Amino acid sequence: MVDWAAYTLVFVAGLITALATGIGALPFFFVPDISEKFNVGLWGVASGIMMAASIFGLIPEGLNAGPWTTVAVGLVAGGLLVLVANDLLMDADIDSRTYEEADFKKLVLILGVLTVHSFPEGIAIGVSFAELNLGSGIPLLGFTVPALAIAMTIAISIHNIPEGVAISIPLRTMGVAEWKMVWWSIFSSLPQPLGAVIAFGFVQLAEPLLPAGFGFAAGAMIYLVLSEFIPDALEAGEELDGKGYRELVAGFAAGGGAMVLLLVVV
């Protein structure tokens, strides 16, 4: 008999992490305008966050979960996804209605890749709940919840906040309304509760896929930064002193440093 209450608990845990992504968009309610210098710096911050999360977070998690060859296959597949998606979006005939065509395609690309990458995090949450009501744990809402599950939910929630910032930066430059930025940030992480429920139900199947999943996420984000974020930042900074390299490097260091510190603390 299916324990629907347990599935509901796992779904809520995944939903909490998705909602946390929207927090990253809230600061933009208080930023009325963005100068080119600040814009380049923000692209650098987003790039630093994504690169650090990939190199120091996702890839090590994948290596802890399985062989490096599986992680490597995931890395290549993730990069190919962005490459193929970029080609398809550039060739597609999209009526954006609101945005310029090129910007709308870039929006779809960014959100699409980040949405795909959030699924493995949902799987990680589901797997961490595998021993729900079994053995030791923390009493919560009538359940005995494994400490790992609570730690994983908190960690991914915290991790998702800077991801919300990274998602909101390109949306901000496209002139997207603040509440829509919150929605798109949350939307990018909605696969997490779905992935959590699927992994909880099929732990034996999902666990061997984790190394490739983490590698896939890292490969997609790294390629996105190299092919989209950094070129866009340098394009925006062409008229600045030093052509924007100083702002880009400073932002990259700030975002990457903050993400590494977060990973170490959590």
Q: Could you read off the pLDDT of 185-242 as tens digits, one per residue?
A: 888 888 889 888 887 887 666 667 778 878 887 888 788 888 877 887 888 788 788 7
- 106 pLDDT band, cuts 50/70/90, is low
What are the phi and psi torsion angles at 175 (to 5°)? 80, 20
From 21-35, 71-85, 110-124, 235-249, the region with the lowest mean pLDDT: 110-124
**Confidence category of residue 98, pLDDT binned at 50, 70, 90:** very low
Question: Is residue 140 within a helix (H) or strand (E), and if so which, with residue range?
Answer: strand 138-140
SS3 11: helix
**What are φ and ψ of residue 143, in 5° steps?**
-110, 160
Supply the pTM of this predicted model.
0.64
For the chain, the structural domain boundaries read: 4-265
Average pLDDT, integer, range 34-38: 71
Contact 169, 45 (CB under 8 A): yes
Residues in CB range of 142: below 8 A, 6 or more apart = 5
Radius of gyration of the chain (CA): 19
Q: What is the pLDDT of residue 85?
A: 66
| One-letter identity of residue 226 | L
- Give the pLDDT confidence score for residue 204 in this predicted structure: 60
Backbone angles phi, psi at 140, to 5 degrees: -155, 120
* Whole-number pLDDT of residue 97: 41
- pLDDT value at residue 25: 86
Q: Which residues of 122-159 are buried (b: 16+ CB within 10 A; e: fewer)?
A: bbbbbbbbbbbeeeebeeeeebebbeebbebbebbbbb
Euclidean distance between the first and the last CA atom of the chain, given in angstroms as a whole number: 36
- Which has the closest alpha carbon to 14: 133, 132, 156, 148? 156
Average pLDDT over residues 42-61: 83
User: Which residues have CB under 8 Å from 80's CB, separation 6+?
Assistant: 219
